[in-house]
Chain A
Amino acid sequence: MAESQGDETAGGTRGGQYSGPTAHVPEPVHDHHDDPAFITRTRFLTGVALVTGGVMTAAILVPVVGFAAADALKDEEWRWVDVGPLSDFPDGETSSIAVSGPAPESDRRAFLRHRDGAMIAIWNRCAHLGCPVSYSPGGDVYACPCHGGAYDSLGRVTSGPPPRPMDRFDVKIVTPDGQDVARQTSPAEGVSTAGASPEDRVLLGRPFSIDEEQNPFKLHGPGELVTGPLSNLYPF
């Protein structure tokens, strides 16, 4: 019925040829459900189901992901650690001492190098990919067992893949009752031991990275560069 009426209507106007009487054209039925903006029950319930499902999924996933990741992203806390009296580290020697790491296997060590009245502390973590570097007193150099990284007496790279020198620990010397005797002003000079007495204590602090000129930088992970354009790849 509707179809034949539609045809007649169309016949009345097509090409402007037929101008006789036309059949009654019914008012188009207005149905809300045809209106794209009209919220039908189905659409409403679909939306409700999606939102509820999303909220429920988020309620599970957010705590789980936070639990798995958030604590892992915290920086390690560093405080001053007493490593012994100054007499344990005589001038002219480089001593290797264990610095507590999170696991006994971690083998985190510091090389305390005391030369000409000044002391620096080098972290044994290879600046390439983090293997434990060893010190050979014969040549006064450091060598990494993993990929052949080699460092000079101050921890600067002499050969192999490491992209920057070995990291340092902050060092200070205090009297046995805790008064500061000497602190490290620049990594190149180290901490002066000239005015200290043998019973004064040596303390290790927060580690930091250095460049080849021994300028200090914030601590970087192994493999990261501290200078040059590529250092921008590690902005944080």
Chain B
Amino acid sequence: MATTDIGPKNPAVKAGEAAFDYVDKRTGVKTGAKWFMFRNIPAETSWFQTLGFTAMALFGMQAITGIILAMYYKPDPNSAYQSIEVITNEVTWGWLVRGMHKWGASAMIVVVFLHLGRVFFFGSYKYPRELTWVTGAILLIMTMFMGLTGYLLVWDQKAYWATVVAVNITASAPIVGPYVADILRAGPEFGPETLSRFYSIHMLVIPGGMATFIGLHLFLISKLGIAEPPYSKRRMAVERAEEEARRAAENERLPYGRREVPAVAPATPEPQKVEGAS
């Protein structure tokens, strides 16, 4: 390859490579990482295709800031609101971490919808990417559920009543609604149990589910590759060629200038035109 490859290698580089090879031979990480990171993508891939990664980066930020917030937050009706005040006003950079988590939550909803919109308008959900879409839809539901469960944790009047209303909307779903709502609020009415239940769902249940589904989503993306955008030059050329072929075929079937049926019967007999039939 390049001239820099000539001559003995730096021993430090050599040792590094040896260590890397040691791990790779035993785990295949290099192969896996290559499979995941160095894929061919369509020529027209643009900023639009970065929205999914943005959503994922925001999920990562939410996870990190959330874990740190959990070090100060107290999921108990008597101290929840006060512990939030302490985080905001007293803990060093508490306002910043809480702000990142709060704004990050809104940003994530926005970005997930933008990503959904781009996938929809590019038609990227079509075969063979239907299941990527389905895992994405489950991620969307979980993202919104994170928003709902996180909103209650502030435990002020707005959080409380907004969540009462949201859970009662759930309860008004036919037949199963009331049960789901009872399970969500840990009983017929909002109470202390509701807060710790929401905290557990927000902290542990859904993040676990989301991590799993992001993994599945990414696996499918790397297996299937990024979809060609509808304005792709290659794809448009293919479509134009198909269209031309279709037109040519149509032309041949025009009554004018139709070719004679060959005298020798073809291998597979074609349906013959019956005289007098309409």
A interface residues (Cβ-Cβ under 8 A, vs B): 68-69, 71-76, 101-106, 108, 129-132, 146, 221-224, 233-236
Contacts and interface: CB of A to CB of B under 8 A. Distances in A.
A102 B191 contact: yes
Contacts of B186: 71-72
For A74, A75, A222, which residue has the most chain B Cβ atoms within 10 angstroms? A222
B63 to A, nearest CB: 23
A134 to B, nearest CB: 13
A131 B165 contact: yes
Nearest to A73: B182
B225 interface: no
14 contacts: A69-B183, A72-B186, A72-B187, A74-B187, A76-B187, A102-B193, A103-B191, A105-B190, A131-B164, A131-B165, A221-B171, A223-B172, A224-B178, A235-B175
B160 interface: yes
Contacts of A235: 175
Given A68-B183, A69-B183, A222-B172, 4 more contacts: A71-B186, A105-B160, A108-B189, A221-B168
Interface string B207-237: 0000000000000000000000000000000
Interface in B141-161: 155, 157, 160-161
B191 A233 contact: no
Contacts of B155: 105
Interface residues of B, number: 30
B169 A223 contact: yes
B178 A102 contact: no
B217 to A, nearest CB: 25
Nearest to A130: B168
A107 to B, nearest CB: 9
B77 interface: yes
A190 to B, nearest CB: 25
A143 to B, nearest CB: 15
Contacts of A129: 164-165, 168-169, 172
A221 B181 contact: yes
Interface string B169-201: 101101101110111111111111110000000
B189 A106 contact: yes
Contacts of A101: 189, 191
A234 B178 contact: yes
A146 B165 contact: yes
B175 A234 contact: yes
A233 B172 CA distance: 9
Nearest to B77: A103
A102 B192 contact: yes
Interface centre among B171, B177, B192 (most CB of A within 10 A): B171
Contacts of A131: 161, 164-165
Contacts of B172: 129, 221-224
Contacts of B184: 72
